[in-house]
Structures are given as structure tokens and as C-alpha cells.
Structure 1
Amino acid sequence: MLTTHQKHLIQQTTPVLKTNGQALTDYFYQRMLSQVPELKETFNMGHQRDGKQAKALANAVLAYAENIEDPSVLLPVINMICQRHVSLAIQAPDYAIVGEHLLHSISEVLSLSMEDELIDAWAAAYQQLAALMIDTEKRMYAQLKQEQGGWSGWREFTLVKKVVETANVSSLYLAPTDALALPTYRPGQYISVRVQVPSLGYKQPRQYSLSTAPNGQFFRITVKEEALAQAPGYVSSTLHQQMQVGDRVEVSAPMGDFSVKDATKHNVFISAGIGITPMVALLEGLTQMPTSQPPAAISFIHVTQDAAHYTLREEVTRLAEHHSRVKTLIHYSQALTGGARFTLESVPPSLLTDDADYYLCGPAGFIQTVSDDLLKRGISPHQISHEVFSTGGLTPS
């Protein structure tokens, strides 16, 4: 239990964390991964390379320090992070390793003795947070095992079909190698896929949204081959360039809370780029649901570069043609002149009703812009859900 003095000590470190937090977390990851190299198969090294993982952890440490008097405000995001951890098969012993290297990193970066009272304060704070997360994840693992077709940890799947969607996007159909049942997941959820990366010589995980509704036979992910500063994404490039039908990968059970809250309401899906992937699953799931009353409207709004980059176009078109309640609007960003950006001003009002629920997916900047536009229109924050395709941090929700 943290004492009042320890909480005060942690609060005093917030100015340092604001200015040097990422330097600290960079050092932490380098220290830990050099001394415990087997963890490289748990942490995505692409996120290490581009600095996203260090930045996310820096934000998390800062948020925890700023809210040390009442960490309960962080519970919704802690729950989200625990889901990510379960998807990566992180276990309780991993927290002890992380805690040891985090405390030594604070000591070494700030030139403090490990016996300093500030280190003791952070040790107590970390133990408090770790205990909460371990307990939360334990319940999640147990729930996964109880579901029909469910499992925890990694399960071997076989690539049974590979479809080129666009020049840099492919859909991969994954069936369980053991031919046993699959869980009935919620459309909008994601899985982790872990593959052997030849250029690294070890396995790497990456989380991908499922791009189809449950079917009991296979999972489908629709993957964009990523590149950063001319360096390929480790997992996406392996899936695109190396994986062939018949090859095997490790897969975790579906996780995540990005799913339709009320199928009886008008639901509006707004996405950009590869953010379309969970939206197609959400759309397909809604159109499959039986209804005893007049079906609710569905608005499907998507922003993409041009027709050649419109991923899963045929499926969206088919669903719209077969279900009159589905209204689609596709914006091609290359057609926007003068540096203009997509805004909701160009969307017919009938597609954006005041009582609808809104689901956003795409780059962080796109989600922020659309979310701000919706709030200005009087849409309640409770009506807006989003999924950002990036490494998350720990911030109050």
C-alpha cells in the first residue's frame, strides 16, 4: 500500500517524466531486451524501431504518476491494455521482469541509488498497478478458456487462402491446424498473429482486426504491408512476401471491446485507409442479425486514396446491394483539391442522425478530426467509439 509520502514523491517526478519520459523508457527497453532477449518474441520490434512502444510506455508512466491519488480514473484504459496483454500471452512472471528493469532504469537514468526512497516509492506503485493488471488478466484468461472453442495463449493455425486485395493489401484466411472449434467472437475484435521473421531470426507478434464476421471455419485478417523510412514492417512484410498457403502461424484468441453496442439503433461506421477492416466485420455482423422489428439504418462512410486502394470494395458493395438499410458513401482523398481534407460537411445529413451510434477507425489524426466534428454537431461522447491503429498508451478516458 502506498503511503501519503510515497504518493507525494511520485507526483514530484511528473515534471521529469514530461520532459525526459521517453528517454527513460528507451533506456528501459534497451536494458531489458538486451538482458532478457527472449522477450523480443513478445514485444513488437517494429514498434521498438520507430519509437512507438517507448512513447506509449512514457505516456503510461506519466499518466499513472499524475493520477496516483486516484488511479481508478485509468481503469477503462487499464482494461484495454490488459486485453492487449492477454492477446500477446503475457503472464504474471513477465511483470516481475519488467518491474525489475523499470526500477533499475529509473535508478540509472536519474543517478539514484536503488536504496533511494524515490525508488522504493516507485516499487510500491508498480506493485500496486501490476497486481491490478495480473488479477484482471487472470480473469480474462479464465473466461477465454470457458468459451466454446476458446483458448488462452498461442494456438497453431494454417494459412488456407491468400487473396490480393490491392497493391499493398492482402487478406489471409487462417484455419485452426487442430481442426477443432472456433469461438463466436464479436465483430470488431482483433487477434494477435505471431510469425518467424527471417530477417530477425526470431518470432514477432502483431495484432490485426478480424475483417469478417464469425463463420465457425476460419479467421480472416486483411493486412497492409507497412513500411517506415524505407524499412519494411517485420510481420506485415513476412505475411505478404514469405507466407504461402499451407504455412503455419501462431494465433491468439479474439479480444477487444470495439463492437456494436445496440443493433436496434442507427449505426454509423466511418473509416479511413486500412481502418476499413473491422468496419466490414461490423457491417457483415449487423446484416446477419435477425430482427423482429423494422431494421435500423446503417451508414458506411469510408475515405481512401482512390478506387485502386479501396480495400474489400466488392464485399461492401455486395452487402449494400443486398440490404437496403445499408447506405454507403466513399470519399477518394486524391479527388480533394487544394490540400482539402475529408470533413463531415460533405456527408448527407440523413447518414449522420443525432440519435445514432458512431464507430471510427483509422489513423489517430483522422479519428481526432472526425470525433471533434461529431462533438461540434452535438453528438455525445457516449455515442462515439473508436479503434486507433497504433501502439496505445495509458491516458485517462
Structure 2
Amino acid sequence: MPLSAQTRTIVTACIPALEAHGLAITQDMYRRLLSNENIRDLFNISHQKNGDQPRALAFAILAYARHIDDPTALKDMIERIAEKHVGLNILPEHYPHVGKALLEAIAHVLGDQATPDIMEAWKEAYGFLADVLINREQQIYHAHAAEKGGWTGWRSFRIAHRHEETADTVSFTLSPADGQPVMRHRPGQYLSFRLNIPGAGTERRNYSISSAPAEDHYRITIKRQAGGVASCWFHDHVQVGNMLDVSAPAGDFTLPPTEDRPVVFLSAGSGITPVMSMLDTLAAQEARPPIHVIHGTQTPQTEIFARRIRELAKAGTITADLFYSQTGHLPPRMEGITAHTGRLTSSELGNHASHDAEFYVCGPTGFLITMIQALRERNIPRERIHYEMFGSASDPFLVTQA
């Protein structure tokens, strides 16, 4: 059932209040949720501590209010949220807890301004959006269950191999404990994990799959983050033979089954992990488009998948521009690869990226914003810019504008 005209009018009128108090509302909402033992384990506590998750939700709620007359404009945001929820095994019964906390937070923060009409309008608006997400998530769950090797809920996987990529980055190959096939992921997707970390309790994390699709394993690649509860635990404690709870691949940053345009991959740091899944998938195809990799890292020693990138370049599968921000000593020259000192800037991007390409962008928030804005300034159509952000979408530009 569509939203009533009165609700749409009231929600639109609330936009100035959301602009002024949206973050306070979401911070209050999360405080309520984290005190609820039925739902608190669903959240990434690190994103609570640094404020990313409340900021991301505040921007999303504001975007919803601004597009309340035509929520289809938010289809990409809604799809990203639905995929994230599926990875974390969010279920319909979780939504009432969130709705209750949100409405209580609105009432608390707005005080006397939260009239009965306003509260009723937001109750209806939340219920409408919750139904949209629940329906889409159920579609994804059913698709996972029907796919060969697919599953819903948590499935036990064993660490089959551990490989040190760099001093601070490790790849882990995971095989299903039941010995049955696994669903072939779409290149660019991630796995979600339910972790029981001593001293930290239950944590849930997403890590990009860095291997090409297969029916018997996945590979994830994790960079140690300073103070990162989960990444440090993986680096220091997870060894071959350990068991982990894993949900089915999810995410909407994906390579299509066929790609006719030239492809440009723009990445920085560990943002190359989903790109590697896409690269190895394209490399296995007999008919593939021209592929150009533009990647930024600190030094040759911090370059993840350096050997594989050079193998692909030597074979003529890709060309690459590699940017090293903290060194004057470049690696030896080789065919197909051009090395540069300094960061990848928007002006440099214009010198190395084909205008008629499909662009896949992954990296830290600042890098994403710079690259996407640079592409838009070059009049690259929005539908040819695909991006993945690690963590919460805590920047309003990345929530809805890219």
C-alpha cells in the first residue's frame, strides 16, 4: 500500500529538523538498540565507536525524507542495504525492534516538536520502507537457497590455507566443513562472518572475496587495521584448521556476466581485494574487453597482489598504472605497467582512464569521493560508475549521489 498523502507531506516538512538533529536521533536510536539483547549482536561495535554507523543512517533517513514522493530514486541505496542485511542475516522479526527504537529516539530528541501527527507519519514511513527491504531481502534469501551450493543462515567453513600477502595483509582460503559445493559468487561480492572474539564478544564483519568464483572455496584478504578488533584477531589468531561461521556471498558491487566496454579498475590500498576477484574472472574468459588497472598504495612493499598483477600484465591481459605515495624508489619497469610516484589524483586520472569505459572504484572514503567526483566532472554517466565502500556509508555523497 502506498504512503498516504498526509504522511508524505509531514515527512517532507520534517527535512529541516532532520538536517539539524538527524545524527542526534540516530545516535539515540543506536543507544537503545545496543541495550537490547535481542538485537545488539547484529551491529558492528567498531562502527558505533567511530560514529560511522549513526552518520550513515542519518544520511539515509534524510535521503528517504527528501525522496519520499518517489522512493524509486533510492533504489541503489535500498539494494545496497538489502544486500548488507542479507549478509548479516537480518530477519523480518528484527525490524520491529529497530522501528521502536527509531520512533522513541525521534520523540526524545525532538521533544514537544514530535506531535502525534508527526509520530504517526514516521511510524507509517518506517513501516513502508521496512516492508520494501523485507520483501527484497526475502527474494535474495530464496535465490541463495535455490542456487547450487547456496545456503541461508550461518554455515561452517574451515580455514584451508593462510598466505601472507604483505607485512600487514593476509589471505585466507575457506572450504565448507560439510564438504558440499558452495555457490559461485558474483565477482566483487563479500562474505559476512559471525565471530566470537575473546574479550570482545560476538562481532559481525564483511570481507570482500578476492578469488574468482569456484564451487569448493572462497578466499578473503584482510588488512590489519590499527585497533581493529576483527582484523587483528584474524591476523594474530586465525590459523589453518580453524572454523568460522559464514553467510552466503552478498553485495551489489559486481561484475556483470558479460562486459563489452573497456573496463577500468580504480582502487587504493586493500580496495584491490574485490577487484582481484573481477580481474581473475575476466582473465579466464577467451573474449574479454580491454582492462586497465589504476591502483594506489604506499610503497612496493605494501602492494597487495603485486605478483598476480604483473603476471596478468606480462600475459597482455591487462595494462596498469601503479601509484606509490610514500617512496621515490619504483619497482623495475616491465611491459604493460607504468609506475608513478605520488598519489593518484583527479588530474592524473584524466591522463590514464578511457572515457568510454565502465569504471569500478573501491577504496577508502576519501579516495572514493575524489575518484567519483573526477569521473562525474569528465561527464562519465552515473550508470557507468560502480563503487564499493568498506564499512558504513558515512558520507552523504556516497549514500545517494554517486
User: After TM superposition, is the score higher than 0.5?
Assistant: yes
AA aligned opposite 1:276? I
CA contact (8 A) 2:364 2:389 kept: yes
Q: Which moved more, 1:378-387 or 1:110-119?
A: 110-119
CA contact (8 A) 2:323 2:342 kept: no
Map 1:173-252 to 2 at 5 A: 173-200=173-200, 202-227=201-226, 232-252=227-247
Q: Secondary structure in 2 aligned to 1:199?
A: coil
> What residue number does 2:16 align with?
15
Shift of 1:345: 4.3
CA contact (8 A) 2:223 2:270 kept: yes
> What residue number does 2:275 align with?
279
Q: Which runs of 5+ in 2 are unaligned?
A: 330-340
Map 1:11-50 to 2 at 5 A: 11-34=12-35, 36-50=36-50
After superposition, give the CA deviation of every residue in 1:98-144 in whole Å (9 maximum; x if it has no partner). 11111111112222598822111110111111111111111110011
> What residue number does 2:400 align with?
395
CA contact (8 A) 1:63 1:396 kept: no
Map 1:120-135 to 2 at 5 A: 120-135=120-135
AA aligned opposite 1:118? I
CA contact (8 A) 2:47 2:391 kept: no
CA contact (8 A) 1:272 1:366 kept: yes
Please say if 1:331 is aligned against 2:323: yes
Shift of 1:207: 0.8
Alpha carbons of structure 1 residues 129 and 298: separation in structure 2 relative to 1, 3 Å: same
After superposition, give the CA deviation of every residue in 1:30-82 in whole Å (9 maximum; x if it has no partner). 11211x12423211111111111111111111111122122121122101110
Cα RMSD, aligned residues only: 2.2
Between the two proteins, the alignment pairs up a number of residues equal to 385
Map 1:1-397 to 2 at 5 A: 1-34=2-35, 36-112=36-112, 116-200=116-200, 202-227=201-226, 232-261=227-256, 262-291=258-287, 295-322=288-315, 324-335=316-327, 341-343=343-345, 345-346=347-348, 352-392=353-393, 394-395=399-400
Alpha carbons of structure 1 residues 241 and 38: separation in structure 2 relative to 1, 3 Å: farther
CA contact (8 A) 2:39 2:97 kept: no
Q: 1:189 and 1:116 mapped to 2: Cα distance?
A: 43
AA aligned opposite 1:343? T
CA contact (8 A) 1:14 1:66 kept: yes
Q: 2:153 and 2:113 mapped to 1: Cα distance?
A: 38
Q: 1:210 and 1:191 mapped to 2: Cα distance?
A: 7
AA aligned opposite 1:395? T
Alpha carbons of structure 1 residues 396 and 67: separation in structure 2 relative to 1, 3 Å: farther
> What residue number does 2:338 align with?
none
After superposition, give the CA deviation of every residue in 1:199-248 in whole Å (9 maximum; x if it has no partner). 22x22111111001013221111001112xxxx21211211112121111
Q: Percent identity?
A: 36
Q: Which runs of 5+ in 1 are unaligned?
A: none
Q: TM-score, normalised by structure 1?
A: 0.91
